[in-house]
Amino acid sequence: MLSKNVEKALNEQIRIEAESSQVYLSMASWAEVKGLEGISNFMYRHSDEERLHMLKLVKYVNERGGHAHISDLKAPKTDFGTFQKMFQELYEHEIFVSNSINELVHVTLQEKDYATHNFLQWYVSEQIEEEALARTILDKINLIGNDKGGLYLFDRDVQQITVDSAAMDPGA
């Protein structure tokens, strides 16, 4: 059975994962309209992953005798300026998510909830990989600079970059 504090913190994380999915969906739509097909596909996929992160938490809360709350979400912005700025925002957003997971892990220790602590280790690892992925992408963007051919190749290749491949990239 979850303590009220752990349940509340998990519900907060459910909202954050759901909002992350919306943020990346909005980025996907912006990129699609700009004709950046590869970047758009990458963001659509990332949005789906965040929804899965949310669902995994929903299932866990309900399985442990809590009640997962599906709440209102803050609307993401619709214009991201440039694709460079957009990926910088993605990176900063993932750092925000990592901090929030760390807070959540802290609550489970305070409440001596070792089962939830154990469950959250998957999220801790996932955040390391997601931050690595975002940094790998930002490094590639820096290499391109303002080169149009480079953007063409980046847009084509970013679709192949996954969390797993970035984690194995020695440059990450």
Residue nearest ligand FEO by beta-carbon distance: 53
Query: In angstroms, what is the C-alpha Rg of the chain?
Result: 17
Q: What DSSP string runs through 31-84? A: HHHTT-HHHHHHHHHHHHHHHHHHHHHHHHHHHTT--------PPPPS--SSHH
Minimum CB distance to ligand FEO, residue 89 (Å): 13
User: Of 42, 163, 54, nearest to 101 (Cα)?
Assistant: 54
Residues numbered 74 to 93 that lie near ligand FEO (CB under 6 A) are none
Question: Any contact of residue 130 with ligand FEO (CB under 6 A)?
Answer: yes
- Cβ closer to ligand FEO: 97 or 151? 97
Measured at the CA of 148, the angle between CA 33 and CA 39, to 5 degrees, comes to 40
Question: Any contact of residue 58 with ligand FEO (CB under 6 A)?
Answer: no
Neighbours of 91 (CB within 10 A): 16
Minimum CB distance to ligand FEO, residue 46 (Å): 7
User: Of 156, 160, 168, nearest to 35 (Cα)?
Assistant: 156
- Do residues 91 and 135 lie in contact, with contact meaning Cβ atoms separated by under 8 Å? yes
Burial class (CB in 10 A: 0-12, 13-18, 19+), 135: middle
Question: Any contact of residue 47 with ligand FEO (CB under 6 A)?
Answer: no
Question: Any contact of residue 97 with ligand FEO (CB under 6 A)?
Answer: yes
Question: Any contact of residue 53 with ligand FEO (CB under 6 A)?
Answer: yes
Minimum CB distance to ligand FEO, residue 27 (Å): 12
Question: Any contact of residue 50 with ligand FEO (CB under 6 A)?
Answer: yes
User: Residue from 7, 9, 10, 17 that binds ligand FEO (CB under 6 A)?
Assistant: 17
User: Residue from 7, 94, 129, 155 that binds ligand FEO (CB under 6 A)?
Assistant: 94
Write out the residues near ligand FEO by the rule CB under 6 A.
Answer: 17, 20, 50, 53, 94, 97, 130
